[in-house]
Amino acid sequence: MNIILLGPPGAGKGTQAAKIVEKFHVVHISTGDIFRKNISENTPLGQKVKQYTEKGLLVPDEITVAMVKDRLSQPDCKAGYMLDGFPRTIPQAESLEVMGEKVDCALNIDCDYALLIDRISGRRMCKECGASYHIKNSPSKEEGKCDKCGGELYQRDDDNEQTVKARLAEYDEKTLPLTEFYKAKGLLLQVDGNGSIEQTTENVYKALTSFI
Ligand code: AMP
């Protein structure tokens, strides 16, 4: 099964992606995670994309598409994958089709904008394993330390209020039209992401199970 995960920044895509992987055993491909890893390792790709990510802007399609094409060509993707954070534009979605990739469903986690800023500003990530926490809604047991691997928790550079506003504007203009794109193909699954993490996971599991 090949799944696309859609939703605005802060809707809980990363958190729900981990739950989906647990239950459906698909390979998790997060373009944001791949960019962050390259930036922190100062690779040529990281040097190219940093100027966009730090401003909350989308990385140009040709860079992103080439990276995803390379990742999808790896053997572990043959058994099924979940794309988290890709596609983010209509041309990216079209490029997946050109690559011959079959999308089984596009799961959109819907969330009121009023909730997003609070969720993003309280978000903390593990430097080692990428696990996601929230200082109020889902804190780690020990402050600043990952429950899963003991790694140090940090706040993403692009989770500050000004950059979040730019990311939401990019989402509205370039990514939101993808819901109509996949709806027209009969592939869109809508999930309510306004509730707790557990409620959203239940909605996600229900939608995916009814679909399989
Ligand atoms: P995310 O972790 O998905 O919120 O992504 C963090 C940042 O990486 C975004 O704000 C963009 O700058 C960049 N990015 C991630 N995925 C894409 C994509 N599919 N297209 C363009 N830029 C992306």
* Other beta carbons within 10 Å of 31: 21
**pLDDT digits 0-9 by tens, 52-86:** 999 999 999 999 999 999 999 999 999 999 999 99
What pTM was computed for the model?
A: 0.92
Distance CA 33, CA 6 (A): 15
pLDDT at 74: 96
Tell which atom from ligand 1 comes closest to the C-alpha of 30: 3
Residues having CB within 6 Å of any atom of ligand 1: 9, 31-32, 35, 52-53, 56-59, 64, 85-86, 88, 92, 158, 167
Q: At residue 211, does pLDDT exceed 80?
A: no
* Other beta carbons within 10 Å of 61: 17
> Average pLDDT, whole number, for the chain?
95
Structure tokens at 80: 């099924």
**pLDDT digits 0-9 by tens, 137-182:** 899 999 999 999 999 999 998 998 889 999 999 999 999 999 999 9
Q: Whose CA is nearest to atom 8 of ligand 1?
A: 32
Confidence of residue 112 (pLDDT cuts 50, 70, 90): very high
Phi, psi torsion values for 66, nearest 5 degrees: -60, -40
Cα 31 to middle of ligand 1, angstroms: 6
Confidence of residue 210 (pLDDT cuts 50, 70, 90): confident
Q: At residue 212, does pLDDT exceed 80?
A: no
Length of the chain measured in residues? 212
Cα 46 to middle of ligand 1, angstroms: 12
| Percent of the chain's residues with pLDDT above 90 | 91
| Percent of the chain's residues with pLDDT above 70 | 100
